[in-house]
A and B are shown apart, each in its own frame.
Chain A
Amino acid sequence: MFNLFLFEYALSSLKRRGAKNIFIFVIFFILIFLLSSIFFISNSMKYELSQTVDALPDITIQKLEAGREQNIDIDRVDKLSEIPGVSEVSPRVWGYYYFKNAGANFVVVGVDRFSPNYKKSIQKVVDKFDSVIFDNNDTMIVGKGVKDILEKNYYDKYFNFIKPNGDLKKIKIAGTFKGSTVLESNDIILLSNENAREIFGMKDDEVTDITLRVPNPKEVSKIASKITIMYPDCRVITKNDLEISYNNIFDYKSGIFLSLFIVALFTFFIIIYDKSSGLSSDEKREIGVQKAVGWRIGDILLQKFYEAGILSGMAFVLSITFSIFYVYILNAPILRSVFTGYSILKPAFKLPFVVDLQTIMLIFFATVPLYIAATIVPSWFAATLDADEVIR
Chain B
Amino acid sequence: MIKVTKVNKVFNQGKINETVALKDISFEVKDGELAILKGPSGSGKSTILSIIAALLKPTSGDVEVDGKKIAKLPDNFASLYRRENIGFIFQKFNLIPTLSVFENVILPLIPSNLSKQEIEQKAKQSMEKFSIYHKKDDLAKNLSGGEQQRVAIARALVNNPKIILADEPTANLDAKLSSSFLEFVKELHSEKKTILIATHDPIFFGLDFVSSEIEIIKGVMK
Contacts and interface: CB of A to CB of B under 8 A. Distances in A.
A and B: direct contact (Cβ < 8 Å)? yes
A303 to B, nearest CB: 8
Interface string A348-392: 000000000000000000000000000000000000101110011
Contacts of A292: 53, 55, 82, 88, 90, 94
A289 interface: yes
Residue among A285, A288, A392 with most chain B CB within 10 A: A392
Contacts of B109: 5
A291 interface: yes
Interface of A: 1, 3-6, 9, 12, 16, 285-286, 288-299, 302, 384, 386-388, 391-392
For A3, A289, A298, the residue with the greatest tally of chain B CB atoms inside 10 Å of its CB is A289
Overall SS of chain A's interface? helix
B55 A386 contact: yes
B52 to A, nearest CB: 12
Interface in B153-200: 155, 159
Interface in B106-125: 106-111, 113, 116, 119
Contacts of A293: 82-83, 88, 107-108, 155
A296 B76 contact: yes
Given A12-B99, A294-B80, A392-B46, A289 B56 contact: no
B43 interface: no
A286 B107 CA distance: 11
A290 B106 CA distance: 11
Select the residue from A5, A291, A298, A384 with max chain B CB neighbours within 10 A: A5
A247 to B, nearest CB: 52
B119 A5 contact: yes
Contacts of B75: 296-297, 384
A386 B53 CA distance: 12
A333 B94 CA distance: 53
Nearest to A389: B56
A289 to B, nearest CB: 5
B5 interface: no
B212 interface: no
A388 B82 contact: no
Contact of A4 (B83, B103, B116): B116
A3 B92 CA distance: 30
Contacts of B95: 289
Nearest to A288: B94
A387 B110 contact: no
A290 B108 CA distance: 7
Nearest to A298: B76
Nearest to A392: B46
A109 B57 CA distance: 86
Interface of B: 46, 50, 53, 55-57, 75-76, 79-80, 82-84, 86, 88, 90, 92, 94-96, 98-99, 103, 106-111, 113, 116, 119, 155, 159
Contacts of A384: 75
B160 to A, nearest CB: 13
A294 B99 CA distance: 18
Contacts of B99: 12, 16
Given A294-B159, A391-B94, 19 more contacts: A3-B110, A3-B111, A4-B116, A5-B109, A9-B110, A16-B99, A288-B94, A289-B95, A292-B55, A293-B82, A294-B79, A294-B108, A294-B111, A297-B75, A299-B111, A384-B75, A388-B55, A388-B56, A391-B92
A291 B80 CA distance: 10
Contacts of B92: 391
Contacts of A291: 55, 79
A289 B90 CA distance: 10
Nearest to B109: A5
B54 to A, nearest CB: 9
Output the residue of B53, B92, B107, B116 with the most chain A CB within 10 A: B107
B76 A387 contact: no
* Cβ-closest 7 pairs across A and B: A294-B83, A299-B111, A293-B108, A296-B79, A388-B55, A294-B82, A388-B56
A387 B33 CA distance: 27
Nearest to A16: B98
A290 to B, nearest CB: 7
27 contacts: A3-B113, A4-B116, A5-B106, A5-B109, A5-B116, A6-B110, A286-B96, A288-B94, A289-B94, A293-B155, A294-B80, A294-B84, A294-B108, A295-B79, A295-B111, A296-B75, A296-B80, A296-B111, A297-B76, A298-B76, A299-B110, A299-B111, A387-B55, A388-B55, A391-B90, A391-B92, A392-B46
Contacts of A5: 106, 109-110, 116, 119
Contacts of A9: 103, 110
Contacts of A3: 110-111, 113
Nearest to A15: B98
The winner among A3, A16, A285, A295 for most chain B CB atoms within 10 A is A295
Nearest to A285: B94
A386 B116 contact: no
A296 B74 CA distance: 10
Contacts of A16: 98-99
B82 A386 contact: no
Contacts of B119: 5
A61 B94 CA distance: 82
Nearest to A7: B110
